[in-house]
């Protein structure tokens, strides 16, 4: 389990760095995306939590969130950690209960995780006013949701190639 957590964090950090640099740069060149990018760190976390379970999901989510909070995020400290911990724990509940197909299941898991992230941010806004509220009518929400759904099968396929590192022994 510890090995899968460490490798999930390594993949999350790499994804976070790519997401905040290369992907942001490329997305800025595409005007119709409104400067919105897929949350590939969330997809990495969802994959790891789904195949390893709740404990790996929540620990990986918390530690990758700490990295984001300390190094890359302008959000209030702890927000990414809390969101990713909750999403990792909830996704881990589905371990061994659903068949992980090659296309449909990654799309469903990452879409639900994205919606859950927005819901958690909405709930946190009532406690911490600095947290932005994303309306359901906001085009950026739907673009991110679509990009996550589009990237999910490709990312899950890529992560399956690293199965020995990302999946702990049962």
pLDDT by residue (tens digit) across 83-102?
999 999 999 998 878 776 77
Nearest CA to 62 out of 87, 92, 40, 38 is that of 87
Name the pLDDT band for 169 (thresholds 50, 70, 90): low
Q: How far apart are CA 10 and CA 80, in angstroms?
A: 16
Q: How far apart are CA 104 and CA 114, in angstroms?
A: 15
| Domain spans, the chain | 2-166
Buried b (16+ CB within 10 A) or exposed e, 29-47: eeeebeebbbbbbbbbbbb
> What is the maximum alpha-carbon separation in the chain?
46
pLDDT by residue (tens digit) across 103-114?
899 999 999 999
Which two three-digit tokens encode residue 41? 């760190």
pLDDT by residue (tens digit) across 10-54?
999 999 999 888 888 888 778 677 778 899 999 999 999 998 999
| DSSP H helices in 68-103 | 79-92
Confidence at residue 100, expressed as pLDDT on a 0 to 100 scale: 64
Q: How far apart are CA 42 and CA 58, in angstroms?
A: 12
Residues near 114 by beta carbon (within 8 Å), at least 6 away in sequence: 39, 42, 144, 145, 148
DSSP state of 167: S
List the single range of 22-26, 40-44, 67-71, 115-119 with lowest mean pLDDT. Answer: 22-26
Please state which architecture CATH assigns to domain 2-166: Orthogonal Bundle (1.10)
**Could you tell me the pTM of the whole model?**
0.90
């Amino acid at each position: 389990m510890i090995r899968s957590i460490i490798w999930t964090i390594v993949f999350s950090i790499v994804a976070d760095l790519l997401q905040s640099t290369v992907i942001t740069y490329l997305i800025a060149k595409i005007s119709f995306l409104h400067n919105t990018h897929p949350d590939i760190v969330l997809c990495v976390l969802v994959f790891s939590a789904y195949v390893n379970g709740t404990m790996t999901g929540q620990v990986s989510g918390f530690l990758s969130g700490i990295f984001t909070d300390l190094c890359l995020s302008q959000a209030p400290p702890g927000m990414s950690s809390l969101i990713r911990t909750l999403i990792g724990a909830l996704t881990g509940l589905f371990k061994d209960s659903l068949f992980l197909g090659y296309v449909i299941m990654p799309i469903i898991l990452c879409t639900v995780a994205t919606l859950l992230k927005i819901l958690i941010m909405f709930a946190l806004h009532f406690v911490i006013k600095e947290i932005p509220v994303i309306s359901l009518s906001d085009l950026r929400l739907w673009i991110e949701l679509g990009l996550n759904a589009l990237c999910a099968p490709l990312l899950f396929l890529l992560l399956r190639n690293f199965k020995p590192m990302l999946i702990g022994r049962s």
